[in-house]
Copies of this chain bind each other. A is one copy, B any other.
C-alpha cells in the first residue's frame, strides 16, 4: 500500500519544511546522469552553490549523500594516516569529527568547550601553538546539537596563521547566518540540504579551496573511500562537457537542490539571514514572555536553531509528543549530554516564518499548561506582535 505521510510543520533540528516548489521539482521526469541537459543543470548547481557559500572555489558541488558523508568527504580527502588534526568540540558534531579523524588512522587533538558555549579562540590558538605540525583545524560553525555559532572567520585565520588547513561544518549554518567561505579563507566546508536550504535531505554541498585541491591531488596515499574520492568525483563534476562516469547521481534530488538554491538566490542571501534573525527574535520574545529560557548566550545563538531549557518538573518528551499529535508540529529533543534538558526549535529556511513562530509558541502554551506550568496569559503573543511591529516600522 502506498505511504501517505502526515502533513507536519518541521521545527526541529532538520529536516525543515520543504519549499512547495522544491517538492514539485522533485517529481519532474528523471533524465540520465550524463544527459547534456543534466550536465547543464550540474553547472548551474555549482554556480548557485558558489553563491550560497560566497566562494569562487572551482571545487564546489553536492556530495551524493547526507551531511555525515559530506563531513567524511572533507576528512578522508584531506587527512592521511598519521596526520594530526586539531578538533574543536562543543557539541555532538565535534565528536563525530574526532571519529572521522581516528578512523583514518590519524590523531585528533581535542579542544573542548562546554556544550552551549562558543569555541574559545584562545584555546584554539594555544592548541595550534602546542601542535605546530597539525595538518588541520576542524570545527563546527553552527552546532546543531546546541544551537551555538562559533567565530568561523577567526578560527580559519588561526589555521592560516599556523599553516594548517581549516575544515568547517556549517550543515545548519548555510543560508541561515553569514557563511563567507572566501572571506574566511576556509579550506573545506560542508553543509546539508535539509536545514536552511529547505530542500529534502540526502545531499551535502561541499566546497574546497584551491589549496585544499592541491593537497588532495598530491596525497601520498589513496583516499580510503572510493565513493568520496574527490579526485574521481571531480572527473564527473569538473569543467567541460566531457564528464567521466563515477557514480549515478541522485538526479531528482539534484532537481530539488537546484530549485531551493534558486529560491535562495531570488530572496537574496542577506534577506534570508535577516528573515532568520527576525523570526528568531520573535520566537525568543514569545518564549521569554512565557518564562522560558534559552540555553545559549545571546552573542552565540543560532537564530535558526533555538535551544530552550526544559523547566524543572516538566516531562519534555510528553510536550514533544503533544505538539506532534495535537498540532502536527515537530520540535527536536536534546542530543548527547543535553538529552532531556532542552528542546531544539528550528526556524530554518521555509520554516522560518511568522505563522510558524506563533503556532509553535501557542502549541507550547497548550502543552505546558497541561503540566501546570505557570505563565502570564497572552503575554507571549503580545511580545511577538511587538517584534514584528517594530520590524515593519523600521523596514
Contacts and interface: CB of A to CB of B under 8 A. Distances in A.
Interface in A216-241: 222-227
Contact of A25 (B2, B29, B37): B2
Contacts of A37: 5-6
A265 B97 CA distance: 41
Given A33-B15, A262-B1, A194 B248 contact: yes
Contacts of A330: 31-32, 35
B27 A225 contact: no
A10 B24 contact: no
Contact of A255 (B3, B35, B99): B3
A68 B227 contact: yes
A223 to B, nearest CB: 7
A24 B200 CA distance: 15
A224 B256 CA distance: 31
A64 B65 contact: yes
Contacts of A226: 68, 71-72, 96, 99-100, 103
A251 interface: yes
Interface residues of A, number: 74
A259 B247 CA distance: 23
A17 to B, nearest CB: 7
Which applies to chain A's interface (DSSP): helix, strand, loop or mixed?
loop
A200 B33 CA distance: 11
B223 A15 contact: no
Contact of A247 (B64, B66, B102, B200): B66
Interface in A7-26: 7-8, 10, 12, 14-15, 17-18, 21, 23-26
Given A4-B28, A31-B10, A224-B224, A250 B66 contact: yes
A255 B5 contact: yes
A44 B223 CA distance: 36
Contacts of A103: 222-226
Given A7-B29, A245-B335, 19 more contacts: A2-B21, A2-B25, A3-B255, A4-B28, A6-B29, A8-B30, A10-B30, A15-B30, A15-B32, A18-B30, A23-B30, A66-B247, A66-B248, A66-B250, A67-B247, A96-B226, A202-B202, A202-B251, A224-B224
20 contacts: A2-B25, A3-B41, A3-B259, A4-B28, A5-B29, A5-B37, A6-B29, A8-B30, A8-B31, A15-B248, A17-B30, A26-B26, A31-B330, A33-B201, A64-B66, A64-B202, A66-B247, A200-B250, A201-B252, A252-B253
